[in-house]
Structure 1
Amino acid sequence: MSKNDIEKEFWFSPQERVDFYLNGLDSFEIDLEVFKKIKNSNEWNQKELHLVSFEQYENTFTHWYCKYIVHLPRIRNIRVLPYYKAYKDLHSLMNFFIPFDKLGLKYKAFKYPLFYGETGYTDGIPCLKKSRRGDDEESVIFNFRTLRLTQPCESAQKNDIPWRDKKNSVIWRGATTGQEQRVTFVEKYFNKYDVAFATTKQKPHLAHLKKAKVSIKKQLEYKFVISLEGNDVASNLRWVLSSNSVPIMPKPYWQSWIMEEKLEPFVHYLELNKDLSNLEEVLKWASENDEKCEQIAENGKKYMAQFLDDKNDIQVQKLLLEEYAKRVSYKNSIK
């Protein structure tokens, strides 16, 4: 096996990835009148659910802004942008435009149903989302919000240190988003490890469980980094996998562009029980199997490489949008 083959041992073929993202989608007809009712059914869907074609944006200010400006370091985290209502919408449009701009995707007039948020009821319509629950049988995944989820991988790789130079311990920082999983974890381990909330703005009553924020560079001084899902996917998982550290986490429930369900415990990460009660046991095993843990970190980097290879990844995005346009049609019209 060549060095190149070894480096790609965890890669999936473009068609395998597209099949995963399409979530079993075959031929499907979207009734636009039904779509309109679903969009207007609640305030959340009104904000997040849209029919979007590249053609409607091509050569507009929004297209130019997405192509040349929004990704710039001093711009990407600004939440109020000129001429646009929400920064995350713009971040998602930036990703949607890429296969058209870079590879000349021909389905410019086709209207794709995009959902910009994490959750939302779409009544069977196969919308393109950045993530889906494990039991979601309708949503199609696209590579949205890379500035938040994928861009930090570059920082991780740039600022990382060798495994042997890392602290043989664990760290976690995050927000109080999501269900009670994070609260349960922090309450249990706050006084035992470097585990805490970095912000408690959403749940101020948890301020006693807060510690100072820690940069990615500083977190990578640890061999083990906890990864916990919040509103949807764990936002730190991609950069931890792409580093020389090992993620410790429960089996993923949410799925995104990196196909979390394909990750294997003791191959790509160390697994916490669903109730998060076994961290001490995991760390004890890790201390007795240092070489195996170093290999797990290496496996994570090989796995993530397929999503960080721009040439390969954009081809997958293009194929996905082509397949979607071939399988989905519309009836009726929105007046």
Structure 2
Amino acid sequence: MATISRTAARVFYYARNVARDVAPQALFRARLAGRLERARLSGEAARRRLNYYNKLQDGFAPSADAMRIGKLPFTPTMYYYDLKEFARYFDPGLLIDLEFGDVRNVPKVPSIVKDRPICADDKNAIIMKLDKFRHFQMPADAMSFADKLPSVVWRGDLNNPIRTRFLNAVRDLPFCDAGSHKPNAPPEYARPFLSISQHQRYRYIVSLEGNDVATNLKWIMNSKSLCMMPPPTYETWFAERQLEANVHYVPLAADFSNLEDHVAYFERNPAEAERIIAAANAYCRTFDDEQTEQTISLLVLYKYFVLSGQIKPDAEVWRYITG
């Protein structure tokens, strides 16, 4: 259920992106050199992040299925707008391989994606901040951990066996308010819809992956509730692989058998819960600076086009990227 503020933000998102699309695109391309000049002055943290999202080191050729920037697919629309926001700074004839939607496997050729499986050889999956209106919703939380309900909460679609396994594991635990608000949920799993602010009333919020990453993970970690989840197996721009168990979140066993013990421990040791919450909040602040986010996004694409042999690198910018 959309709130008034969420609806207003969505309207602004589309209005801004439509305006960018109808503006003369040459205006953006004329600004590329200046943006790259500022980008090369970014710090080491930004450089590490861009090379984490784009791990390519060797040259490659776009595939026969690569698309020209000027002909990117318009659907899903938010993926299009989020990629075009930065792709429009480059020549519209440049080729780009991409996979919109939930990516379950590493692409066979270097491709722009929203997410990738966490595995050893993932360099062909080049992460951009796509579908960010949905995935990077991280509202503030004014309620302290101590003032929250001493209970566990979870809501979501039953689109993954892990989620059904979780509901079966906690169904008899009196401190768990867990279920699915979706109309197609079986009666034994059905629970009423809860907004983010209603979730934030609970001390413990569970995050479970669905088709790929867990959409709720980012706003949970930005709250003053304690995030509990199995170790992630997919990652997005949020770099879920870099999250540390017992530092940024509380790890749950595959069968969720340790959830009850975890809750009992943190009820006895609230300072330990608040330590993890503080680290999670600090991790979320990594993504607060919009100028840095834009700089990294532009450089991820720039590195892609240089290594694909489509543009000649500026010596200073390339020196910054490669360190």
Question: Do the structures match in fold with TM over 0.5?
Answer: yes
Q: Tell me which residue corresponds to 2:151.
A: 169
Q: Bigger shift: 211-220 or 128-137?
A: 128-137
For the structure 1 residues 329 and 275, does the alpha-carbon distance in structure 2 shift closer, same or farther, using more than 3 Å as the test? farther
Q: Tell me which residue corresponds to 1:144.
A: 130
Alpha-carbon separation, structure 1, partners of 2:307 and 2:187: 49
Q: Tell me which residue corresponds to 1:304.
A: 284
Match runs of 1:13-162 below 5 Å: 13-32=45-64, 35=65, 51-53=67-69, 55-56=70-71, 86=75, 89-99=76-86, 105-119=89-103, 124-135=108-119, 137=122, 138-150=124-136, 152-153=137-138, 156-157=139-140, 160-162=142-144
Residue 106 of structure 2 contacts residue 116 of structure 2 at CA under 8 Å; is this kept in 1? no
Deviation at 1:207, TM superposition (A): 3.0
Alpha-carbon separation, structure 1, partners of 2:287 and 2:91: 23
The count of residues paired between Structure 1 and Structure 2 equals: 264
Structure 2 residue matching 1:28: 3-state secondary structure = coil
Deviation at 1:108, TM superposition (A): 4.3
Deviation at 1:97, TM superposition (A): 2.4
Paired AA for residue 67 in structure 2:
L
Residue 306 of structure 1 contacts residue 312 of structure 1 at CA under 8 Å; is this kept in 2? no
Alpha-carbon separation, structure 2, partners of 1:52 and 1:279: 49
Is 1:274 the equivalent of 2:290?
Answer: no
Structure 1 residue matching 2:62: 3-state secondary structure = strand
Q: Show CA shifts across 1:240-272 (max 9, x none).
A: 111111210011110110100111112111110
Deviation at 1:234, TM superposition (A): 0.3
Alpha-carbon separation, structure 1, partners of 2:84 and 2:148: 40
Q: Bigger shift: 20-29 or 282-291?
A: 20-29
Q: Show CA shifts across 1:133-175 (max 9, x none).
A: 113622111110111111x21xx31x54222221222100000
Q: Show CA shifts across 1:171-216 (max 9, x none).
A: 00000113x1000001111232101112153xx5x33211001110
Alpha-carbon separation, structure 2, partners of 1:123 and 1:238: 25
* TM value normalised by structure 1: 0.73
Q: Which of 170, 179, 182 pairs up with 1:199?
A: 182
Structure 2 residue matching 1:30: 3-state secondary structure = coil
Deviation at 1:319, TM superposition (A): 1.0
Deviation at 1:122, TM superposition (A): 7.3
Structure 2 residue matching 1:13: 3-state secondary structure = helix
Q: Which has the higher contact order (CA 8 A, sep 6+)?
A: 1
Alpha-carbon separation, structure 1, partners of 2:183 and 2:222: 27
Q: Tell me which residue corresponds to 1:5.
A: none
For the structure 1 residues 163 and 125, does the alpha-carbon distance in structure 2 shift closer, same or farther, using more than 3 Å as the test? same
For the structure 1 residues 56 and 124, does the alpha-carbon distance in structure 2 shift closer, same or farther, using more than 3 Å as the test? closer
Q: Show CA shifts across 1:24-79 (max 9, x none).
A: 453112331xx3xxxxxxxxxxxxxx6241x447xxxx9xxxxxxxxxxxxxxxxx
Structure 1 ranges of 4+ moved more than 6 A = none
Listed as ranges, the gaps of 5+ residues in structure 1 are: 1-10, 36-49, 63-83, 331-335
Deviation at 1:308, TM superposition (A): 2.9
Alpha-carbon separation, structure 1, partners of 2:116 and 2:201: 32
Q: Show CA shifts across 1:289-312 (max 9, x none).
A: 211211211211111112232111
Q: Tell me which residue corresponds to 1:66.
A: none
Residue 30 of structure 1 contacts residue 328 of structure 1 at CA under 8 Å; is this kept in 2? yes
Q: Tell me which residue corresponds to 2:266.
A: 286
Alpha-carbon separation, structure 2, partners of 1:213 and 1:12: 43
Q: Tell me which residue corresponds to 1:184.
A: 165
Residue 160 of structure 1 contacts residue 217 of structure 1 at CA under 8 Å; is this kept in 2? no
Is 1:264 the equivalent of 2:248?
Answer: no
